[in-house]
A and B are shown apart, each in its own frame.
Chain A
Amino acid sequence: MKTFKIGGVHPNDNKLTADSLIEVFPVLETAYISMAQHLGAPAKPVVEKGDKVKVGQVIGEPAGFISGYVHSSVSGTVKAVELMPDLAGNPVMHVVIEVEGDEWCEEIDRTPDIKRDIPYSSEEIIEKIKNGGIVGLGGAAFPTHVKLNPPKDKKAEFLILNGSECEPYVTADDRIMRERPEEILIGAVIMMKALNVTQAFVGIEVNKPQAIAAMKKAAADYPQIKIVVLKKKYPQGGEKQLIDAITGRRVPSMGLPIDVGVVVQNVGTSLAVYEAVQKNQPLIESAVTVTGHCVTEQRNFLLRVGTPFSRILDAVGGLPKDAAKFISGGPMMGKAVANIDASTLKGTSAFLLMTEEETKRKQESNCIRCAKCVEACPMGLEPYLLNKLCRAGNKYDELEKEKIYDCIECGCCLYTCPANIPLLDIIRMGKADVMKIIRNRPKK
């Protein structure tokens, strides 16, 4: 079995919801749709208060090269277009829609039939993906049409679909691979056509045997797509780690996967691409795992974009008494939800509730130079050293020499540290400073 070569940790996978079907979450009376659903510039709202919108109608237009369309996930009347706090409490432009019925745009094909033939050219596919507002659903929410449109001087050789889902607790990708394997593969074929490549791989970790079986069965009809079973190790789903695991290629420092001829997409993105290209359905809903040991009914939902986190709790038996921390995403790379009234985004994959006992940080002690963090770092960095240099406050040259910018913020060092040093917090701070210095440098 394949896996990436350096670093990694083995957290308990806690896939509590692996066997529960994806249920359609009811549409609530109000949707709060954020304009910052993707990496890059937030979209510009194009509706005003009082406008009537349908499901799938464009409500935000891209405001730059790395930006994307935002569509209404509900039908009804626009109640407000205003700044509202996002999950971190920072103000972001939201379109608030009061729901009336569930009227979809006419061009969206809502029949359950699977459409297999792809009569579009590469340009048409990328245009359709852009118009569908598709973003990467693996976590970073990078606009997919930008990723599928590599610079002219670089040629893609492979497409890799990321179904590893190495984050503990999260089972959204596992479920869609079990329930809709063929659609995911058609999505891959569409992207292969857009990129003009002939070979694709789907990487799935061995702890999802049913997903592997379902995908292998569906892939029998698609000889150009190969299912690769991977060892269970975090952070397998990091794109650089996945490329290493499947192709053995190493993405250069500061480089992108396209530098080694690879484009990585999440399986969820692939499903969204299928729906946008074949069914004209923009990205307005995604599979979200609602989980945690303290939650009474852990479930997987198909959730419309713009549902407040607080309302999701109603569907899983209310707020657990001992819940102390809410996390959007998995426990390793997810973001703590500071504002529970914030709404879900396109890229939301999980809503995890944890008790104080589970999340409490232990007392920090001195570094004993055991080098466990060095062993765990999947990027081959030396976290203990970066920690020391970041705390010094002004050693930016040395930090750059130690390649702090290569840190993927996976948290392996923090997870493995026996002295409970908050390595990730400190390295992230230093990385932000160094990145700012690098960005502000005059370009040669």
Chain B
Amino acid sequence: MSTTIILTIACLGVLGLLFSVVLYLVAQKFKVEEDPRIEQVESILPGANCGGCGQAGCHAFAENVVKAPSIGSLFCPVGGNAVMSKIAAALGQEAVEKEPMAAVVRCHGTFDNRERVNHFDGYSSCKVMSALYAGDTDCRYGCLGEGDCEDACQFDAIHIDPKRGVPEVDVDKCTACGACVRSCPKGIIELRPKGPKNRKVYVSCMNRDKGAVTRKACIVGCIGCGKCAKVCPFGAITVENNLAYIDFTKCKLCRKCYDECPTKAIWAVNFPIRLPKSATEPHTEPKVEQPVEENKEA
């Protein structure tokens, strides 16, 4: 009885030793030399594998950043400047500061601003809806409100407000990975700089129809009047196909366009409430809801 046990243990022990030697030899023979810095960089990265940097994932980013002659060409939008400076230190290079970005939803066609003319009862997806027809309002450029951006976001940073029917971005959570930008079939979402104290000025409309058509569909639509382009002292605004666009590289956040816009399609968010300059120059109240006070978005 005891001999069987001893024999079994001995056999298995010898086999185990044999295999371990073989495995060791094979591992030595086919060893892949990897730069130890790749692992080091990967441990610094957030590890979300979101693809926001344009690479296949965090490992691919680490590989490329180690290989690249300078790290300036690559940027992790999720980690931002903090992570990039750590990576630069690990690689013994100079960090390149980049302005932090955040997603901006360029449509304010809420239930109040934009009348719903039909009801979509199909599968709740913007992609399915936009493949079938123009949408449930008279504006065929605007937000469909089915929440493909919400589903795409890995960081819980964008949500459809059920009371408003359009998405809102939580700037603190947004990492500018661009997943929502790619998921939106109408191409409404754009990455813009977060701005000082999260202040930004942008045209919150994508409607390229003629002014009269836009006005009928939505009360905060851009009618392409061009007043903003005329008033802008920095030449940051262009009007193309009846739609204004503010170039954020030129915009200095002076808010002249915001004051001028007749439909309030231009939004200025997170600015303090402005007081009238003097008694002789009375401040005119905007007709529609004041985004400065109410908008919690940014």
* Chain A residues within 8 Å of B, Cβ to Cβ: 85, 88-91, 336, 338, 359-361, 422, 425-426, 428-429, 432
- How many angstroms between the C-alpha atoms of A426 and B122 in the bound complex? 10
Would you give the shortest CB distance from B99 to chain A, in whole angstroms? 31
7 additional contacts, CB 8 Å, given A89-B140, A425-B123, A426-B128? Answer: A88-B134, A336-B132, A336-B133, A338-B117, A338-B118, A338-B133, A338-B134
Bound Cα distance A359, B122 (Å): 11
- Could you list 11 A-B pairs, sorted by A, with CB under 8 Å? A85-B134, A89-B135, A89-B140, A336-B133, A338-B134, A360-B121, A361-B122, A422-B122, A422-B123, A425-B128, A429-B127
* From A88, A359, A361, contact of B132 by CB (8 A): A88
User: Which B positions have Cβ atoms within 8 angstroms of A?
Assistant: 117-118, 121-123, 125, 127-128, 131-136, 138, 140
Q: Is the CB of B133 within 8 A of A429?
A: no
Q: Which of A90, A425, A426 contacts B140 (CB 8 A)?
A: A90
B127 contacts across to A, CB distance below 8 A: 429
Interchain CB contact under 8 A, B134 and A429: no
When distances are taken between beta carbons in the complex, the residues of chain B under 8 Å from A361 are 121-122
Given the complex of chains A and B, what is the CA–CA distance between A104 and B82 in angstroms? 77
Given the known interface contacts A422-B122, A426-B123, the answer about A90 and B133 at a Cβ–Cβ threshold of 8 Å is: yes
A244 to B132: give the CA distance in the assembly, Å.
Answer: 30
Report A-chain residues with C-beta under 8 Å of the C-beta of B138: 89
Shortest 5 CB-CB distances between A and B: which pairs? A89-B134, A88-B133, A425-B123, A422-B123, A338-B133
A361–B136 alpha-carbon span in the complex (Å) = 18
Q: Is the CB of B128 within 8 A of A428?
A: yes
For A89, A426, A428, the residue with the greatest tally of chain B CB atoms inside 10 Å of its CB is A89
Q: Taking the nearest CB of chain B, how far is it from the CB of A250, in angstroms?
A: 29
Once bound together, how far apart are the Cα atoms of A89 and B138, in whole Å? Answer: 8
Interface pair A359/B133, CB less than 8 Å apart: no
In the complex, chain B residues whose CB is within 8 Å of the CB of A425? 122-123, 125, 128
Distance, CA A91 to CA B140, complexed state (A) = 9
- Residue of chain B at shortest CB distance from A364: B123
Question: Which residues of the partner chain A approach B117 to less than 8 Å between Cβ atoms?
Answer: 338
Residues A429 and B131 in contact in the complex (CB < 8 Å), given A338-B118, A360-B121: yes
Q: How far is the CB of A340 from chain B (nearest CB, A)?
A: 9
Contact partner of B134 (CB less than 8 A), chosen from A90, A422, A428, A432, is: A90
Q: How long is the Cα–Cα vector from A336 to B117 in the complex, in angstroms?
A: 14
Which chain A residue lies CB-closest to B152?
A393
Within 8 Å CB of A90, what residues of B? 133-134, 140
- Chain B: CB-nearest residue to A90: B134
What's the least CB distance linking B117 to chain A, in Å? 8
Which chain A residues lie closer than 8 Å to B134 at the CB level?
A: 85, 88-90, 338
- Choose one: A85, A89, A91, A359; the contact of B121 (CB below 8 Å): A359
A422–B134 alpha-carbon span in the complex (Å)? 20
A425 CA to B130 CA, complexed, in Å: 12
A361 to B117, CA, bound (A): 20
> Does the CB pair A432–B131 fall under 8 Å?
yes
From residue B214, how far is it (CB to closest CB) to chain A in Å? Answer: 13
Please determine whether A428 and B133 come into contact, CB atoms closer than 8 angstroms. Answer: no
Partner of B125, one of A89, A338, A429, A432: A429
Q: How many angstroms between the C-alpha atoms of A422 and B132 in the bound complex?
A: 14
Complex Cα distance A67/B281, Å? Answer: 62
User: Nearest Cβ in chain A — how far from B240, in angstroms?
Assistant: 18
User: When chains A and B are docked, how far (Å) is the Cα of A91 from the Cα of B135?
Assistant: 12
Residues on A with beta carbons closer than 8 Å to the beta carbon of B131:
428-429, 432
Please indicate the chain A residues that have their CB under 8 angstroms from the CB of B133 in the complex. 88-90, 336, 338
- Min Cβ gap B204→A in Å is 22
